[in-house]
Every structure is written in structure tokens, then in C-alpha cells.
Amino acid sequence: MVTVPVFVGLDYHQESVQVCILDSQGELLANRTCANDCGAIAEFVGRHGERVQAAVESCSGAANLAEELVRWAGWSVDLAHPGFVARMKQNPDKTDLHDARVLADLERVGYLPRVWLAPEPVRKLRQLVRYRQQLVGRRRDTKLRIRAVLREQRCGAPAELSPWTRAWRCWLRKDAPLSEQGRWVIEQHLRELERLAEDLRTVEARLQQVTATDPEVLRLLAQPGIGPVTAWTLRAEIGRFDRFRSGKQLARFCGLSPKNASSGQRQADAGLIRAANPQLRAVLIEAAHRLGRLDPRWRALAQRLRTAGKPGSVVAAAVANRWVRWLFHQMQAA
């Protein structure tokens, strides 16, 4: 059995995995399709070497396969950033054989753009957090549909009723001047809102149970201005704060850093960077709005920016950026 390392690129698909094996000199040893099974892949690669350094593009299901290969086969497996890998291919053609070989070669020369392989508990927490986000999105869409029906039928609620309160919903069900079909549609939407509210209570109770003893979540909840939803989202999407080198790097990961649009003598920003998790960024922007009202330090920062003529969206993003950088050091010191 050969004891020198071999370098493996895994082009992941739901039913199969293209496996490319290179030696330390870049010579092709094998490149074939295997079943999407940890044992089958390990058995095939094991014919060519015992020490394995593998790479697989980060996608749905790839993290589970990578962890199985680390745990059961003893491999060293890196997740690769698919966007950066695509830009590094420099080839208009796309085939599974070529994609797997590119991954193996990038792993061999040390140029693989790596991303963090989250441990299984964090990935499971992400499932719950993202399911909750889906329910919130459905609730928002349902409310927009109700508003659309009211606009279409030119129904305005009494000024003293705040939207979505119990009194407002009672008016909507009983007193709103709706047509017969419009009232029926509104009733279906209101029932959907009630179902979604129950589902949200259920998933939040499960999140509370799952994270009750999580030390990272408990430390987040101890920070001023952080509630359960913010703590769950930060824990699920960031995972560990110590995997970042600085608070600035963490803020960029969260999508809170301005995008540079400078050229020559012109120095300018072009809004926030787009390569980030939109749900994570939204939660942090919402937290910044709360901090701007509740915490004297961040309220003073927000006031200075408003006095300088900055719009509210820029103020919230700036507060979120500074707060995340501050939070990085707080979590490191805890």
C-alpha cells in the first residue's frame, strides 16, 4: 500500500460523486463516478493511498459527506467556496471529470479557497433557525396578501385601530366592508396566520430546548440588546467566533462592511457587500435599530451619524458593523 499522500477532488451530486485522485506530482491516478456513499468512496480511494487530503465544494449535503469521511475514513477533508472555485477554473467547459480534477489540484498545491466545516450540532441548529425564518417569511407574505385585498376593495380601517392587533383583526373579520368573495379570501388568510403563529411557537420552543445548555448561546444572551432570536441566528450562522481573526473579518462575513468602489483619485463606497447571508445581515440590522434606542453608546453613535447627514439605512448598517466588531472581542474575552 502506498503511504505517500494522495489528493482527492469530490464533485458532489445527490445520487453520485465524481472522484478524482492525483499524486503529489499532479499525475492522474483515477477519475471515476462512485455512489454517494462514504464506504464506496473510501474503498475506491483506498486502493491508491492511505493518506488522503480531499476537497469538495460546499453545497447541500456536502458537509455531511465530508464529516463522514473525516470520522469513519480518517481523511483530511476541506470544503471549498464554490464561487471562488468557479472563477479559478478558467475554462468555459464544465464536466464532472474536470470539476473534480480542479478540486484535487487546488488541494494539492494549497490554493483551495476553504470555507468552515461546521460541526453537526451547528448544522442541525441551522435547520431549525432557517425553518423558523421560512415561517416568518410565509407570515409576512400572508399579511401582504391581506393588505392587497383591502387595497383592491378600498377598505380602510378606523384610525384608532393599530394593524394586526386583536381589535384590528376583529374589525377585519366582522365589520370591514368586503365583498362576499373578498371576505372568504380574508378568512382563509387569517386562518393561515393563526396556523403560522402556532408553528412559530412550536419551533421557538424547540429552539429554546435545543440551546438551553449551549454555552455560546448563553453568552450571547448575556450581552445587552440580544434576545433569543438574535442569539439563535448568530450561533447557527456564525458558529464559533474564534474562527475569525478579527472583528473586522467577522463584520465582513456578516455582510456589514461597505463595498469599495474606488478608481484612480475617486474614493467611494457602493453600499454593503453582497456576498453574505441575507438573513444574518437582516437580524443584525434589526438588532442595530434596537441598540440605537436602548444602549447609550450606540445611541450616541447613531446620533453623530444622523447629525452628519447620513440616512437611516446607513446609520443602522454602521451601528451594526461597529457592534459586531465589539461583540467579537466580548465573545473572545468571555
Q: What is the pLDDT of residues 148-206, one digit of tens each?
A: 999 999 998 888 999 999 999 999 998 999 999 999 999 999 999 999 999 999 999 99
Give whole-number Cα distances, 160 to 154, 166, 288, in Å.
18, 13, 30
Residue that wins the pLDDT comparison between 333 and 80: 80
How confident is the model at residue 2, as a pLDDT? 47
Mean pLDDT value across the chain: 91
Smallest Cα–Cα separation from 54: which of 108, 117, 7, 18? 7
Grid cell for residue 203: 419551533
Task: Give the rounded distance of the alpha carbon of 227 from its chain centre.
Answer: 19
Q: Is 34 helix (H, G, I), strand (E, B) or coil?
A: strand
How confident is the model at residue 271, as a pLDDT? 77
How confident is the model at residue 249, as a pLDDT? 94
The mean pLDDT value for 65-92 works out to: 89
How confident is the model at residue 282, as a pLDDT? 93
Say if residue 268's pLDDT is above 90: no
pLDDT band at 1; cut points 50, 70, 90:
very low
The mean pLDDT value for 93-98 works out to: 88
Residues 28-38: tens digit of each pLDDT: 999 999 999 99
The mean pLDDT value for 113-135 works out to: 95
Say if residue 333's pLDDT is above 70: no
Q: Which stretches does DSSP call E strand in the chain?
A: 6-12, 16-22, 28-35, 52-57, 76-80, 114-115, 258-260, 269-272
Residues 67-79: tens digit of each pLDDT: 999 999 999 999 9
Asked if 121 contacts 232 with a C-beta cutoff of 8 angstroms, the reply is no
Smallest Cα–Cα separation from 116: which of 49, 199, 58? 58
Q: Is 18 helix (H, G, I), strand (E, B) or coil?
A: strand
Sheet strand arrangement including 52-57: 28-35, 16-22, 6-12, 52-57, 76-80, 114-115
Q: What percent of the chain has pLDDT over 90?
A: 78
Helix or strand run (H / E) with residue 13: none
Length of the chain: 334
Q: Directed axis angle between helix 96-109 and helix 82-89, to 10°?
A: 100
pLDDT band at 267; cut points 50, 70, 90:
low
How confident is the model at residue 135, as a pLDDT? 97
Residues 285-319: tens digit of each pLDDT: 999 999 888 889 999 999 999 999 999 889 999 99
The mean pLDDT value for 208-219 works out to: 95
Q: Lowest mean pLDDT: which of 13-17, 88-92, 153-157?
A: 88-92
pLDDT band at 26; cut points 50, 70, 90:
very high
3-class SS letters over 67-86: HHHHHHHCCEEEEECHHHHH
pLDDT band at 88; cut points 50, 70, 90:
confident
The mean pLDDT value for 7-15 works out to: 95
How confident is the model at residue 257, as a pLDDT? 86
Distance CA 267, CA 249 (A): 21
Distance CA 153, CA 312 (A): 34
Distance CA 130, CA 128 (A): 6
143, exposed or middle or buried, with CB in 10 Å at 0-12, 13-18, 19+? middle
